Amino acid sequence: MVSCIGGCMGVGTIFQYGPIYLNKVLGFDAKETGIAAALPFILSIVVKFIAGPFSNLFTFLSERGKIVFFNSLSQIPMCLCFLSMALLPVKMIWLIQIAYTLVNAFAGLSAVGISKSVNLVSFYKMERK
């Protein structure tokens, strides 16, 4: 639940305020803002398609272990990327753009952990009946 809330808040924040951040804080023009704001979401889709099947290859981890692994692998770097966006000086625009893009990539990993969690919870509920 905590991971789902964190991931949704991260994606929601970038979705709503990301283009404004790129335009007003970093000084991108309208065309650059559109491209720079769309790129992370495309990368997130790619990460989801790769990480989903890849997570099934981790046979050495239990299903609960996979959930913890993918949620930790997504939330900690996502937090660090948000911190870098807030703390880096505007002169380091490429590092900020990389952090901006990686927020959505790591949010894609969060979706893998969340979907595995939902499957595990529903499996246990079906098992109890």
In this model, does residue 76 exceed pLDDT 70?
yes
Segment 16-53, tens digit of pLDDT: 888 888 888 888 888 888 888 888 888 888 887 887 77
Domain boundaries, the chain: 2-128
Cα angle for residues 80, 10, 62 (degrees, 5° grid) = 80
Nearest Cα neighbor of 86 from 39, 21, 15 is: 21
In this model, does residue 66 exceed pLDDT 90?
no
One-letter amino acid of 30: A
Q: Which pLDDT does position 13 carry in this prediction?
A: 81
Nearest Cα neighbor of 4 from 119, 126, 115 is: 115
State the Cα–Cα distance between residues 22 and 16, nearest whole angstrom.
12
Which pair of tokens denotes residue 32?
């650059």
Q: Which pLDDT does position 111 carry in this prediction?
A: 73
Which pair of tokens denotes residue 60?
């050495």
Q: Give the dihedral sign, CA 16/17/19/24.
A: positive
First to last CA, the chain: 23
Whether 112 and 51 have beta carbons less than 8 Å apart is answered as yes
In this model, does residue 5 exceed pLDDT 70?
yes
Mean pLDDT, the chain, integer: 81
